[in-house]
Structure 1
Amino acid sequence: MTLVNMALCNIKSKFKNYWTFFLSSTFSVFVLYIFLSIINNDRVKSELGGKKTFTMLFIVASCVIATFSAFFIWYANSFMIKSRKKEFALYMILGMSKKQAAWLAFIENLITIAAAFCAGIVLGLVFNKFFIMLLYQMIGVTGDVQFQFSIKALRACVYIFGCMFAVISVHSTMLIYGNNLIDLFNASSKGEKSLNVSYKTVLVEIISIVFLASGYFLAVQKLAINILLAPLVVTLVVVGTVLFFYETTSLIIYFSKRDEKNFFKGTKPITVCQLGYRYRGNAGTLSVIAVTTTIALCAVITCFGLINKVALNARSVRPFSVEYVNSDQNAATDKVFYSVLKQHEEISIRYKDNIKFIRLKTSNRFSDTKNNAIFILNQSKFNLINKHEGISRRVKLKSDEDCYFVQLANLAADKSVIGKTIKLNNRNLKYNFKVIGTDNKYFIALDHFTQTLIVKDSVYQSINNSINSKSKISITGYILKNDLLSKSFISDLTDKLPKENSLETFLENYSNGLKMVGMMAFIGVFIGIVFLTATGSIIYFKMVMEAQEDREKFIILKKIGLSSTEIKKAISKELIFLFGMPFVVAACNTYIASITLSKIMNVKIYVSFIICILVYAALYSIYYLITLNSYMKTTSEVN
């Protein structure tokens, strides 16, 4: 019998040892091909307007998926090889050399991954149109979706999974060559270090709690004001999470063993001893699962929280339906606008505002604009604009030295500026204004906006009379009655209005925002599914491997009188701990992140948080039940 025939025979007769590796590889190929085919789809490129930002989103997502898929496949292959070390040892006893055993593993991997690759590509071709239609739905695009086979996507998948295959083949060969016959035989019987608790464990536990508490505090109280704290917050939470799984959870298991009153109740000795014996080897994996689950949940929750706020977000940065720079209130520019308006009877004007800004320089360090520039506007005009835009904000200044400060750069308004003095310079004239209130709500397009001081009308007029025309900027804004239906009007206006007028429209921002958020939601869901599948499968692989190693122990327990129901109860408690602990920690991390993101983006995402947590919990429960069923079957098998 040749090695090829032997490999085929092994796969056919023991497919249960290969199916986890096969399914994980198939799923990875399927998801990666879907993303790469979308990137290279001509129709999708056309609908997205060829914008590099949108394409880059998919490229980055593809890289993330490829990286995680490589880790996922590596993990699955490692478990498969580890479970077969004793089998390879038997082959060598029967006369097979290490070289032949390595070639056998190579051929088996080649057949399995080739079959998985073909299955993944076929699934990708079958569901490609469906996922593009789903993408169109999420980004608000209509149109026919045609089937398109992407050679570029196929070629990229071949390269990526070819490299993965080469790496896992080298890894398999090293495992076979790196172990002698006795090590291969005893691979499954090597014990893991049991939990060892000391003062060092308690110290690290305290550090983990301090890290998590500090990260949570900074995230909730400080991050919305100072986004530069993000790396520190992420580091504290990640390190705290890892230490929590290595030491804090170990202490929980340790004290459960020391609790003599409750330790001997029912099947608790089996559950606690199993955890105590196995947990140290699982701590690293569980901490990684908790961190990756947090990332996946945050991505999905944020995207779905934003998708219902696209119009509101677009309105906040483009409060006028149409807005353009109108130097000296040029009648010719307005004439172009009205000539286009006459051609579109479906469009009508609700409000029009001619805004005249004064631009001066300030020496204050909290000015984040170029050249320390700052706009000046009178309060009556500011209040009128707010009324037209439906904003409840009104300014009532009592003194000539008072001002209201509309900020630009901060994600959340910096309230510490209240009470401070802003100094303005204009040639030989100097002005000092005291800030009595502040916010960061734009009243003109963000692209035109500079930090603005609202002053009394008399003060504004005095400054206006003392400056030259170069320090004056005029902007005209229109609020249309039906701006969501103004696509044709905006297109014609864009063609006819000179670029120097810097036309900005609500509809353009809304459409781009819907595409961006829709794509992020689409990508977030896919990455979330990939992470969920990978993390759930990793726990499954480890538990099935441990079930194979512990089979004899459970057979002995049955012989001394323990029933299958009692064994199942003990195993189920162990699995609940291993599945539940990473998920609970990830849910806590995600909840804190949700509070912070809500403040930063001014969006309520708590409903998205609850829905995503419940969906993730339901899917994790399915993995739990599958793992429990496989564990019971494995421990019940008789050699």
Structure 2
Amino acid sequence: MTLTNLVFKSMKKNIKHYYLYFFALIFSVTLCFSFVTIQYNPSVVKALAASGSATAAFESITYVLYFILIFFILYANQLFMKRRSKEIGLYQLIGMTKGLIFRLLLIENVVLFTLAVGIGMVLGFLTSRFFAMILMKLIKNDAIVSLSFSMTAFSKSLIIFALLLVVVMLQIFIMIRKASLLSLFNAAKKADERIKKFSIFHMVMGIIGIGLIAYGYYDSTRLFSVGGATTNNLLINMLLILGSTIIGSYLFFRYSVALIMNLIRKSKKGYLKITDVLGVTTIMHRMKGNASSLTLITVLTGLAVGIMTLSYISYYSSESDARQLSPFDYILLDNKGIEFFDQLVAEGIEYEKTTFQISAVNVKMADLFNLDEKNAGYININQEAVSSVVSLSDYKKINPNAQLEEGETIITSYANVLSELLPLESKKKIQVNTSEKNYSLFIKEVREDEFFLSVLASAGSPVLIVTDELFDEIQKVQKPEITSQIGINLVNEKDRERAETLFKTLRERKAIEYDYQKTYKEYYDENIALNGMTIFVTGFLGLAFLLTTGSILYFKQMGEAEDERESYTILRKIGFSNGEIMRGIYVKQLFNFGMPLVIGILHSYFAVKSGWWLFGSEMATPMIIIIAIYVAMYTVFGILSGMYYKKVVKEAL
């Protein structure tokens, strides 16, 4: 038999192991080549030409995708080499040299890899237009996207995939060279670590693992609190949280799961059902034996869900963030650019106008936020903040039900990042200062109404609403830089394009004095362009992480199913039905796929919760959507794994 015939017979025999690996490889190549091709699509290049950072982001994410692909291929190849160790040992027994075996595997991998890369690059090219259209949709660009082949993208990808094949063959060469004949026959039975009898030490380590995860979660909730972090120890706290959750995850899979399963098994007092034998006992030993890989999968899952959630929070909050920066469609300050109204009327554009008179006072930080030396953190408690002041009558234009008594104030326009770090409390007194007099005011209420251009609230300070009498008194002695704001909202959305042109023309002519007077639509378009690009690239990364973690779990389950084939044969011979055996297997599958997913989601939830407000104004909806996608995809891998087990059990007798 020639070497070529042996290669094809070997590939045919191992197709049951390779088919998902082959399709996963095709999918990975498709993702990578599609992403690289998008970078050179003329429509996308033109749309992102104004943003150099977008081009740099594309380039950076490409290398991350390549890294994920390399990691996935090397890890999967290691698993399959372990599954084929007995076959390689038999080749040696019949007299084949290690060099000849390597040549056999070399031809086999070159054929497999070439087919996968070829098919993947064709699919990547064909799907690149689809992904480019998604990108243009996300950034709300109406440009027509055509299918475009880039020789640069092709040659760059070909070089990367060729290097990857070389690395894979180097990995196989090292594994064959180092392996002894005896180790090859036992390699398939080896887990990540050697299993020892459960002891008191294991019990203590299991409790410590749960404790480390709990500590990481708790510390993440106070990471950005005033008393919980300073500019000096913020990085240290973040590293502590990261370290405790990763180490805690490893200890959880290595010891805690076994501890919990041991307690469940002991609670049954020796009366074990077939479900317990195939579920609880198997979970106890398999999980702690594969703790390293399960920890890696958990961390990757948490990382992917966290990154995708934060990017989606930013995209989801684009409109509300734009409204925080410009609460009205257009804003004029100090009556600069009032000819804008004449132009709107001349164009037949209907609008609504709201005018606010503005003054300012100084408020001591310690007084406003109830700070002292112990909990001030990075805040200077003796510092005074400049806060804008608006009269009650003006405020009633947006909140008609507002009421104030003499000596009272309402604090509003404080729904920003600073409000999460330094939350305000009502029902207390504060001192406000002017150049001539100090006033004691009682905070009646703290609200989140946004009606000021963001730059008017100095350093993010809140706006104080006071009685008309007090406002007039303050206005006489205080001379702020800006003394009035006119907010303009369009009545009909169809008029926005013309109104935008009029406003920008006035700004270019310097009829509007301040360059930072952007319109609401400009802020919104900037947010959409940036956040749309971000969620697009993180979506690609999320798909790559999902493919990697889900496939690795599936490959491991395939291996475990083959290892346990003899056990299923014995169980079938003593009278257990397929259904009874499968019920135990389903319990194990639920844990094998569900546990890394649940722990990973918990990691991402607490990580996102600690600072989600830095990225947007809504957390719940984006996170639920991302988690639902991940759960659905893991469920698909779980179902595929269950089907493979069912096939093995059916063939066991």
Provide TM-score, normalisation by structure 2: 0.81
User: Which of residues 473, 494, 501 is equivalent to 2:482?
Assistant: 473
User: Which of residues 339, 344, 359 is equivalent to 1:341?
Assistant: 344
Deviations 1:243-285 (A, max 9, x none): 3222211102223443453642234224344334422222222
In the other structure, the counterpart of 1:25 is 25
In the other structure, the counterpart of 2:497 is 487
Aligned length: 624
Asked whether the equivalents of residues 434 and 477 of structure 2 are also in contact (C-alpha less than 8 Å), the reply is no
In the other structure, the counterpart of 1:631 is 645
Whole-angstrom distance in 1 between the partners of 2:601 and 2:40:
36
In the other structure, the counterpart of 1:379 is 390
User: Which of residues 613, 616, 636 is equivalent to 1:622?
Assistant: 636
From the superposition, tell whether residues 210 and 272 of structure 1 become closer, same or farther in structure 2 (CA, over 3 Å).
closer
Whole-angstrom distance in 2 between the partners of 1:460 and 1:476:
16
From the superposition, tell whether residues 221 and 133 of structure 1 become closer, same or farther in structure 2 (CA, over 3 Å).
same
Asked whether the equivalents of residues 274 and 581 of structure 2 are also in contact (C-alpha less than 8 Å), the reply is no
What letter matches 2:100 in structure 1? Q
Instruction: Note the C-alpha offset of 1:124.
Output: 1.3
What letter matches 2:352 in structure 1? R
Whole-angstrom distance in 2 between the partners of 1:411 and 1:423:
19
SS in 1 for 2:391: helix
From the superposition, tell whether residues 120 and 447 of structure 1 become closer, same or farther in structure 2 (CA, over 3 Å).
farther
SS in 1 for 2:117: helix
Work out the percentage of aligned pairs sharing the same amino acid. 25
Deviations 1:51-110 (A, max 9, x none): 245445544544443332222212211112112222222333333332332333333323
Asked whether the equivalents of residues 41 and 148 of structure 2 are also in contact (C-alpha less than 8 Å), the reply is yes
Asked whether the equivalents of residues 361 and 433 of structure 2 are also in contact (C-alpha less than 8 Å), the reply is no
Whole-angstrom distance in 1 between the partners of 2:101 and 2:121:
30
Deviations 1:474-520 (A, max 9, x none): 56443222475423432443244146522211111222333444444
Whole-angstrom distance in 2 between the partners of 1:547 and 1:593:
35
In the other structure, the counterpart of 1:567 is 581
After superposition, residues 242-253 of structure 1 pair within 5 angstroms as: 242-253=250-261
2:173 is the alignment partner of 1:160: no
2:99 is the alignment partner of 1:99: yes
SS in 2 for 1:579: helix
Whole-angstrom distance in 1 between the partners of 2:470 and 2:86:
88
From the superposition, tell whether residues 176 and 309 of structure 1 become closer, same or farther in structure 2 (CA, over 3 Å).
same
In the other structure, the counterpart of 2:65 is 65
SS in 1 for 2:420: coil
In the other structure, the counterpart of 2:139 is 139
From the superposition, tell whether residues 411 and 35 of structure 1 become closer, same or farther in structure 2 (CA, over 3 Å).
farther
Asked whether the equivalents of residues 544 and 631 of structure 1 are also in contact (C-alpha less than 8 Å), the reply is yes
What letter matches 1:472 in structure 2? E
SS in 1 for 2:183: helix
Whole-angstrom distance in 2 between the partners of 1:363 and 1:623:
54
Instruction: Note the C-alpha offset of 1:234.
Output: 4.8
2:549 is the alignment partner of 1:535: yes
Deviations 1:311-339 (A, max 9, x none): 3332122102123555xx44xx333x346
Whole-angstrom distance in 1 between the partners of 2:319 and 2:247:
38
Whole-angstrom distance in 2 between the partners of 1:606 and 1:513:
20
Deviations 1:338-393 (A, max 9, x none): 46535643x33301436545587978798989x97844433317x62x445x4689
In the other structure, the counterpart of 1:42 is 42
SS in 1 for 2:551: helix
What letter matches 2:338 in structure 1? D
SS in 2 for 1:353: strand
From the superposition, tell whether residues 108 and 266 of structure 1 become closer, same or farther in structure 2 (CA, over 3 Å).
closer
In the other structure, the counterpart of 2:194 is 193
From the superposition, tell whether residues 94 and 265 of structure 1 become closer, same or farther in structure 2 (CA, over 3 Å).
closer
Per mean C-alpha deviation after superposition, the further-off stretch among 156-165 and 172-181 is: 156-165
From the superposition, tell whether residues 393 and 111 of structure 1 become closer, same or farther in structure 2 (CA, over 3 Å).
farther
After superposition, residues 433-448 of structure 1 pair within 5 angstroms as: 436=443, 442-448=450-456
Whole-angstrom distance in 2 between the partners of 1:353 and 1:161:
63
After superposition, residues 63-142 of structure 1 pair within 5 angstroms as: 63-142=63-142
2:379 is the alignment partner of 1:351: no
What letter matches 2:118 in structure 1? C
SS in 2 for 1:323: strand
Asked whether the equivalents of residues 303 and 524 of structure 1 are also in contact (C-alpha less than 8 Å), the reply is yes
From the superposition, tell whether residues 409 and 79 of structure 1 become closer, same or farther in structure 2 (CA, over 3 Å).
closer
Asked whether the equivalents of residues 355 and 485 of structure 2 are also in contact (C-alpha less than 8 Å), the reply is yes
Asked whether the equivalents of residues 83 and 188 of structure 2 are also in contact (C-alpha less than 8 Å), the reply is yes
Per mean C-alpha deviation after superposition, the further-off stretch among 611-620 and 432-441 is: 432-441
In the other structure, the counterpart of 1:552 is 566
After superposition, residues 118-517 of structure 1 pair within 5 angstroms as: 118-190=118-190, 193-194=194-195, 196-219=197-220, 223=224, 233-261=241-269, 263-301=271-309, 309-326=317-334, 329-330=335-336, 333-335=337-339, 337-338=340-341, 340-341=343-344, 344-345=347-348, 347-353=349-355, 355-358=357-360, 374-380=385-391, 384=394, 386-388=395-397, 390=398, 394=402, 396=404, 398-399=406-407, 404=411, 407=414, 410-412=418-420, 414-415=422-423, 431=438, 436=443, 442-450=450-458, 451-452=461-462, 454=464, 465-466=476-477, 472-474=481-483, 476-482=485-491, 484-485=493-494, 486-498=496-508, 501-502=514-515, 503-517=517-531
Instruction: Note the C-alpha offset of 1:189.
Output: 4.3
SS in 1 for 2:482: strand
Asked whether the equivalents of residues 129 and 146 of structure 2 are also in contact (C-alpha less than 8 Å), the reply is yes
What letter matches 1:487 in structure 2? E
What letter matches 1:51 in structure 2? S
From the superposition, tell whether residues 68 and 340 of structure 1 become closer, same or farther in structure 2 (CA, over 3 Å).
farther
Asked whether the equivalents of residues 359 and 473 of structure 1 are also in contact (C-alpha less than 8 Å), the reply is no
Instruction: Note the C-alpha offset of 1:542.
Output: 0.9
Whole-angstrom distance in 2 between the partners of 1:438 and 1:489:
34
Instruction: Note the C-alpha offset of 1:32.
Output: 1.7
From the superposition, tell whether residues 205 and 380 of structure 1 become closer, same or farther in structure 2 (CA, over 3 Å).
same
From the superposition, tell whether residues 161 and 393 of structure 1 become closer, same or farther in structure 2 (CA, over 3 Å).
farther
Asked whether the equivalents of residues 484 and 507 of structure 1 are also in contact (C-alpha less than 8 Å), the reply is no
From the superposition, tell whether residues 501 and 271 of structure 1 become closer, same or farther in structure 2 (CA, over 3 Å).
closer
Whole-angstrom distance in 2 between the partners of 1:108 and 1:295:
35
From the superposition, tell whether residues 190 and 461 of structure 1 become closer, same or farther in structure 2 (CA, over 3 Å).
closer
SS in 1 for 2:210: helix
Whole-angstrom distance in 2 between the partners of 1:53 and 1:343:
40
SS in 1 for 2:320: helix
5+ residue gaps in structure 2? none
RMSD (CA atoms): 4.0
Instruction: Note the C-alpha offset of 1:172.
Output: 1.3
Whole-angstrom distance in 2 between the partners of 1:175 and 1:136:
46
Instruction: Note the C-alpha offset of 1:48.
Output: 4.4
User: Which of residues 581, 589, 597 is equivalent to 2:595?
Assistant: 581
Whole-angstrom distance in 2 between the partners of 1:420 and 1:214:
37
